[in-house]
Structure 1
Amino acid sequence: MPTLICNCNDTMPLDGAALSRASGEPLKVHRLLCRREIGDFTAALDGTDDVIVACTQERHLFTEVAAQAASGTHGRAVVAAPVRFVNIRETGGWSQGAKRDPKTANAKIAALLAVAALPEPDPVPVVDYRSEGAVLVMGPADRALPWAERLAAMSLEVTVLLTAGTAPGARLQSGIVPAARAYPVHSGTLQTLTGWLGAFAAAWETGAGHSNPIDLDLCTRCNACIEACPEQAIDFSYQIDLDRCRAHRDCVRACGAAAAIDFERPPAITEARFDLVFDLNDAPAFTMHQPPQGYLHAGADALRQQQQALALTQLVGEFEKPKFFRYKESLCAHGRNQTTGCTACIDICSTQAIHSQWHDGKGRIEVTPNLCMGCGACTTVCPSGAISYAYPGPEMLGTRLRTLLSAYRSAGGRDAVVLLHGEASGTPALLALGRAARAGQAQGVRPNVMPVQVFHPASAGLELWLAALCWGAARVAVLLTGDEAPQYRAALIEQIDVARSLLAGLGYDGDAVSLVEASDAASLDQGLAALRPALQALPPAPFGAVAAKREMLEFALDHFVRHAPVPADIVPLPAAAPIGAVAVDTAACTLCMACVGACPAQALRDNPERPVLGFLERNCVQCGLCEKTCPENAITLVPRLLTGDAARHTVTLNESQPFHCVRCAKPFGTAQMVESMLVRLAGHPAFAGAAAERLKMCPDCRVIDMMERDPGAISGATLR
């Protein structure tokens, strides 16, 4: 695969020989690849293999040159190879540390190039949107009406919902309903707003209880009401200020036959569908951290109104985005037997795209793909791996991490720190830091800090962090820039606490996993400077990346246990841990086996031969379904790591002697269950005398005994 590197006018200490040895192919260090050496790029295109260009600044230039080569604009047309881009300048060569330690900087660059050469991920399904430009403009008259005029002039199909009149002190012209009825103007109180780009459904209320008694559909805009109102409570948006109105009803009389003003109009709900929503109210209609695509809230901020209106005009047409997730219902621990267990994905979703779905007593989750924005936090907190990230999948991200660390180590790098960062905010922050370092205003991205871009920093969690440490990372950090939803930060902190407890419990440096929180280049520079390598180094693990979350976690835990500086049989963990045991109060447990039926991971098991409750700890995901299902409140979750083979073998949590029918001696139930039942029903009049004795019989013998003692009762019950 042709790889083109450039030292960007001698601003990076690139070692061509070292990079060639690391890549296994001869690499020429260009000086100005995007200018006088562009011919080397066009020559590399004449082939079938992808071309890697180690420059992202001139991506558009190289893409344009490749397109021209393919079309034959400058001579012979070629079948131009696909071009990939990787940044080695701001993230590698432009740091103060690269000058002091060029060997480590070149090892990092070799690793970044190795990752760029990996096969592209398999394509994922897409989610489609179609918007024809029907926009609902909501807000006070002095905000909504001027923007409605502008958007209508841009050929958008405008509908206005006025939620208030013109604010006191606003310019007269800003709140005037247009004289020509060019688009619908309504006045009402928004009741519901749901949907997404191309599929919004809005409902608003008019009539009694609403602030405006004027029906704008009936209003002829003759202004007779404005002239008649003695309190000047009506403005040119045809909204009545009820705080100023003194109920003279002069406006009603002036309106006359038009009958547009009615203070006693019965309530009515109007429903309509829109492609876009432009919300100019102070409080947004959607309160979640990430509102649906196609909904733009600007409030009273004039600059934001301009920005959002511009964005609005770009949302007309057909669009698609990746379907970011995969879901395996068979692994889901959401609910069983009408009991809700794990709700981690529902609780954390910042777009409210995930909700419960129940069928025949079994709970699963449903994800609305049009609302999903791809943060991946649901996949990070899912204990079972039922919902997993697909853009790319954990097997692909794991392969990237393993390749990165292996190539870095092979090129002579040491003390690798993996920095996971988001595409939207983290990448620009790192690029800005690299430029500051080039200008001598910052240290920049240290030579041993390996930036790994993911779509969102919340999309990678515990199993991938631990796997990276097993593959050779001396530390793993996650970069947050402050743009993330608060619940994502909280979830990452919980996961980091679990990782630190695991590491510390086995004698490793617990600080090997951490957050870097930085909102600007200066704080990012300080945060990266604090990323010291962990004290202990693990030998590189032989396992590869897999798609199954639990399998990846098991591989990593086994590696940590095998090389633990301080071996331990049991490591206590925080409550958020997805691994652990259950404790059973044997005095309370009746071995009814309700917990076995509820367990989605087959961690709790029964024995068809005798009353025994077994437990396979390796399978437990700590979902809590058994704890919530137990009618005796006899189960408690115990988050922990049980090391060694013990976690792979079924152990007995409780067992009891079977109870034998007092009539036929056939075993049924357990002695403890029958005894508990007898104690509970001892004072009940329906279970006195012979009825109490029947509780000690198997079901067949109970029927026989009832027939012998009272045949009529049985026949009567049958007839009924």
Structure 2
Amino acid sequence: MPTLICDCNKTMPLQAKSLGTALGESLTLHSSLCRREAGAFQQAVRGSGDVVVACTQEKRLFAEVGRQTEGAVAPVHFVNIRETGGWSRDAAQAMPKIAALLAAAHLPEPEPVPTVTYRSAGRLLVIGPVQQAEKVATLVGDALEVTAFAQGGAGAQERTIPVLAGRIDRLAGWLGAFELAWTATNPIDLDLCTRCNACIAVCPEGAIGLDYQIDLARCTGHRACVKACDAAGAIDFSRSASGQADTFDLVLDLRAEPAFAQHAPPQGYFHLPAPDALAGEAGLRTVLRLRELVGEFEKPKFFTYKQKLCAHSRNEQVGCKACVDICSAAAIRSEPSRQQIVVNPNLCVGCGACTTVCPTGALGYAYPRTGEQGLQLRTLLATYTAAGGRDATLLFHSQEQGTRLVEDLGRAARLRQAQGVPANVIPVALWHTASTGLDLWLSAIAFGARQVVVLVTGDEAPQYVQGLRKQMAVGQTILRGLGYAGTHFELLQATSVAALDGGLQSLAGTRQQGPKEAARYAVAAEKRATLELALDHLVAQAAALPEAIELPAAGAPFGTIAVDKERCTLCMSCVSACPASALQDNPQLPQLRFIEKNCVQCGLCATTCPEDAITLQPRLLLGPARREARVLNETRPYACVRCGKPFGTLKAIEAMLGKLSGHSMFQGAALERLKMCGDCRVIDIYSSEREQKITDV
């Protein structure tokens, strides 16, 4: 796979020899690859192998040149080395980083994943003043079929679009599948109304507006409007309110309060609350976007779900609901009766926050897959280190707003208005910054990074930022407990070039410790497996090795449980509830056993325990004991008073006898049968009934 590098009119101090050595190929340094030296690009794309072009500024131009090049068949990958390092103040020291970015660009594209399809025929519902809806129709009417749901205002006398009215009961759905349910409470039938305005003229209270809605709070009931509308018969106060429903592909909501309260509304829904919303820049962008949303659209199905790993619920008891709580799109709902959560792929926006906070890995991020992300991080860090780089910092940022901010910083550095991205900071674009979590962060440290920084730009949901902080607190506690000095995880909040520049420069003076040798393992598809691989490597090279590391209570995926032996009756309800096989019974003895490595701190055991005898204790136990089963509680077995076979625990049977001894149903022989195993209990009942029949005879 040939690599083409260009110093962009000699504005970057690129070192072709050192970069070529790091990549294992001979590189030619160009200065005008997109202009006078475009022939080198044409020659490269005539080959069969993929081509990497170290330029994104002229991506469209290169694509056009490729289309015009006879025999061009090679796929082309573009990577930005200019704004991400080549234009920074310390660009001369950035060759290891640039080599790492080029090496990552050589990786294959992510494997295809299942897709989610939307189909829109262009039926647009506008909720708001009638005149605003009619204005929308003039702007998009050639592309969309507009229907208004009147919310006051005066419309044109010549009605050009259908108008609905009443009380909205429900609006739900997504692009191509919105469902509107409303109750027609207006005495004026808009289909019969001729808009002659006779009713408005005769109404003494002014209760009828030019939207032809009657304000029943102002109407005194003299019914002059009914007489005035006698010919058309559009007004009928005795008409009962009727429920109605319809479907739409798109929704434009002009009300002050949006129909959807979540941070990420459904695709196809737009909210413009300003009085004259369509006049501003936001209105123009919305109108243009609405015009584009006609046809068939696809997006990746961003998540995978494995119910057998899910710690959400057992026996209709809810334990972990981290994914439900953090989802900003209201795409995840709880279904305890089915012992699972349900994710609506049409509402999912691909942020990945649910996968970050999921302790078991039941929810996984699918595009790109975790293994592909791990390979990218390992390639970046291995190449960076091999090229002589030190103290690598990974800067995770969003693919849209984050990328724009990083590129703006690079351009500002070129104009000497900023320092730029430091030489040891490697930008990594993600679909969303919430899509990576503890498994990949700890793996990055194991692979050789000294710090992981996540850039948030203000458009993230508040719960995402909170979730990232909790995960970082857990990771940092683990590393400090193992003796790795410094702050390895940082959340950098920046909405401007100056804030990003200042934040990155403040990190440049810090130093962190990491493992002396970089890990080489492949990131697994299962989250817990990856966490174990990362922990094994970090523990093996740790400066300190305590027996256990206490973890923050919020978001900890590891821990133990404490059992109150005085209250626990060894009913084993917790064993049946545990989704991770951390709690186990012993078929031979009345014992409650625990394997700490398996515990995900979901809390289902504590929720299920009828005696409230279980308490969660977040921590990371180190050493072989973490993988071994240990006894949390045990007691003597209770033997059947008839046959001597153990059938329960001494404590449980004694507790049952104590609770039922005063009950009228359990006196005499009935109470004695509670001390028998199931088989003997049946035999005793049958024998008693037989003896009673003989006595009666």
TM-score by length of 2: 0.96
What is the total number of aligned residue pairs between the two structures? 687
Bigger shift: 334-343 or 381-390?
334-343
CA contact under 8 A between 1:434 and 1:445: conserved in structure 2? yes
How far off is 1:711 after superposition? 4.2
Query: Which piece of structure 1 moves more, 299-308 or 197-206?
Result: 299-308
Q: Compute the displacement of 1:57 (Å).
A: 0.7
2:31 pairs with 1:66: no
Match of 1:412 among 379, 388, 393: 388
Q: Which amino acid aligns with 1:588?
A: R
Aligned to 1:111: 100
**In structure 1, what is the equivalent of residue 46 of structure 2?**
46
Higher mean C-alpha displacement, 396-405 vs 530-539: 530-539
Partner secondary structure for residue 583 of structure 1: strand
- TM-aligned CA distance change 1:289 to 1:606, over 3 Å: same
In structure 2, C-alpha distance between the alignment counterparts of 1:150 and 1:132, rounded to whole Å: 17
What is the deviation of 1:224?
Answer: 1.4
Aligned partners of 1:177 and 1:237 also within 8 Å: no
Q: Which amino acid aligns with 1:80?
A: V
> 2:284 aligns to what?
306
Shift of 1:292: 0.8
Secondary structure of 1:477's counterpart equals strand
Of 27-36 and 701-710, deviating more is 701-710
**Match among 251, 273, 292 for residue 277 of structure 1:** 251
Q: Distance in 1 between matches of 2:485 and 2:167?
A: 57
Residue 501 (structure 2) pairs with residue 525 (structure 1)? yes
Q: Is contact 2:96–2:385 with CA below 8 Å preserved after alignment?
A: yes
Q: Does 1:161 align with 2:149?
A: yes
| Aligned with 1:350 (options 328, 349, 353) | 328
Following the alignment from structure 1 to structure 2, what is the Cα–Cα distance between the partners of residues 418 and 518? 16
2:536 aligned residue: 558
Write the deviation string for residues 473-497 of structure 1: whole angstroms up to 9, x where unpaired.
Answer: 0111111001001110110011011
Deviation at 1:121, TM superposition (A): 1.3
> Displacement of 1:386 after TM fit?
0.7
Displacement of 1:246 after TM fit? 4.1
Partner of 2:402: 426
Task: Give how far 1:380 is off.
Answer: 0.4
Deviation at 1:144, TM superposition (A): 2.2
Cα deviation, residue 310, structure 1: 1.6
- Unaligned 5+ segments in structure 2 are none
Would you say the 8 A contact 1:474–1:512 is kept in 2?
yes
Task: Say which SS state the counterpart of residue 531 (structure 1) adopts.
Answer: helix
Structure 1: tracts of 5 or more residues without a match? 70-76, 167-174, 716-720
2:201 counterpart residue number:
227
- Match of residue 147, structure 1, among 136, 145, 148: 136
Aligned partner of 1:649 among 604, 612, 628: 628
Name which of structure 1's ranges 639-648 and 561-570 shifts more when overlaid on structure 2: 561-570
Q: Distance in 1 between matches of 2:211 and 2:135?
A: 11
**What is the Cα deviation at residue 547 of structure 1?**
1.3
Helix, strand or coil at the partner of 2:617: strand
Aligned-pair distance for 1:178? 4.5
Partner of 1:684: 663
Q: Which secondary structure state, in structure 2, belongs to the residue aligned with residue 672 of structure 1?
A: helix
Cα distance 1:701–1:10, how it changes in 2: closer, same or farther (>3 A)? Answer: same
1:185 to 149, 154, 163: 163
Cα 1:706–1:434 change in 2 (3 A) is same
The answer as to whether partners of 1:466 and 1:499 remain within 8 angstroms in 2 is: yes
- Quick one: which amino acid aligns to residue 325 of structure 2? D
Partner of 2:81: 88
Q: In structure 1, which of residues 323, 338, 343 is the aligned counterpart of residue 301 of structure 2?
A: 323
Q: What are the superposed Cα offsets for residues 569-628 of structure 1, whole Å, 9 maximum, x if unpaired?
A: 110001210111111111111111111111111111111112111111111111111111
Q: Are residue 496 (structure 1) and residue 472 (structure 2) matched?
A: yes
Relative to structure 1, is the Cα distance of residues 714 and 324 closer, same or farther in structure 2, using a 3 angstrom cutoff? Answer: farther
Partner of 1:375: 351
Runs of 4+ in structure 1 off by over 6 angstroms are 712-715
**What amino acid is the match of 2:327?**
C
Partner Cα separation in structure 1 for residue 641 and residue 217 of structure 2: 82
Does 2:411 align with 1:435? yes
Offset at 1:356? 2.4
- Residue 487 of structure 2: SS of its match in structure 1? helix
1:117-149 C-alpha deviation (Å, 9 max, x unpaired): 011111111111111101111112232232234
Q: 1:93 is matched by which residue type in structure 2?
A: G
How far has the Cα of 1:322 moved from its partner? Answer: 0.6
Q: Partner of 2:213: helix, strand, or coil? A: coil
Corresponding residue of 2:232: 258
Distance 2:624 2:648 in 1: 32
CA 1:641–1:694 in 2, change beyond 3 Å: closer, same or farther? same
Task: Return 332-341 or 482-491, whichever deviates more.
Answer: 332-341
Contact 2:606/2:616, CA 8 A, preserved across alignment: yes
Q: Which amino acid aligns with 2:145?
A: E
Residues 374 and 440, structure 2, Cα contact 8 Å, conserved in 1: yes
Instruction: Please report how far the alpha carbon of residue 79 of structure 1 lies from its aligned counterpart in structure 2 after TM superposition.
Output: 4.0
Which letter does structure 2 place at the counterpart of 1:558? D
- The residue aligned with 1:535 is 512
Percent identity reads 56
Aligned 8 A contact 1:476 1:514 in 2: yes
Q: Contact 2:139/2:287 (CA < 8 Å) preserved in 1?
A: no
Structure 2 contact 451–512 (Cα < 8 Å) conserved: no
What amino acid maps onto 1:59 in structure 2? K
- Taking the aligned partners of 2:308 and 2:493, their CA distance within structure 1 comes to 37
Mapped pair 1:290 → 2:267: no
Tell me the equivalent position of 1:464. 440
Matched with 2:24 is: 24
1:228 and 1:251 in contact (8 A); partners too: yes
Partners of 1:223 and 1:604 in 2: how far apart? 75
Give how far 1:242 is off: 4.4
**Bigger shift: residues 116-125 or 681-690:** 681-690
Q: Distance in 1 between matches of 2:612 and 2:242?
A: 50
Matches within 5 A, 1:661-676: 661-676=640-655
Matched with 2:368 is: 392
2:441/2:452 contact within 8 Å kept: yes
SS of equivalent residue, structure 1 residue 96: coil
**Residues 1:132 and 2:121 are matched in the alignment:** yes
2:262/2:329 contact within 8 Å kept: yes
TM-score by length of 1: 0.93
| SS of equivalent to 1:473 | coil
Cα deviation code 1:663-709 (max 9, x no counterpart): 11011011111111112223222222222211111111112222333
Whether the aligned pair in 1 keeps the contact of 2:303 and 2:363 (CA below 8 Å) is yes
Q: What's the counterpart of residue 11 of structure 1?
A: 11
**Equivalent residue of 2:27, what SS?**
coil
Q: Higher mean Cα deviation, 472-481 or 60-69?
A: 60-69
Q: Residues of 1 paired with 2:346 and 2:319: CA distance? A: 26
Q: Is the 8 A contact 2:558 2:618 kept in 1?
A: yes
**Retained in 2: the 8 A contact 1:191–1:203?**
yes
Partner of 1:455: 431
User: 2:693, 2:602 → 1: CA distance?
Assistant: 45
Contact kept in structure 1, 2:130 and 2:148, CA below 8 Å: no
Whole-Å Cα distance in 2 between the matches of residues 585 and 309 of structure 1?
63
1:122 maps to a residue whose letter is E
Moved more, 641-650 or 216-225: 216-225
| Deviation (angstroms), 1:397 | 0.6
Structure 1 window deviating more from structure 2 (245-254 vs 633-642): it is: 245-254
SS in 1 for 2:94: helix
**1:319 aligns to what SS in structure 2?**
strand
Give the Cα–Cα distance (whole angstroms) in 1 for the partners of residues 502 and 44 of structure 2: 40
Return the alpha-carbon distance in structure 1 between the equivalents of residues 692 and 87 of structure 2. Answer: 92
Q: Quote how far apart the aligned CAs of 1:510 are.
A: 5.3
For the structure 1 residues 703 and 229, does the alpha-carbon distance in structure 2 shift closer, same or farther, using more than 3 Å as the test?
same
**Counterpart pick for 1:603 among 576, 582, 585:** 582
For residues 139 and 46 of structure 2, what CA distance do their matches in structure 1 show? Answer: 50
Q: 1:574 aligns with which of 538, 545, 552?
A: 552
Cα RMSD, aligned residues only: 1.7
Task: State the SS of the aligned residue for 2:507.
Answer: coil
Question: In the aligned structure 2, how far is the partner of 1:192 from the partner of 1:449?
Answer: 49
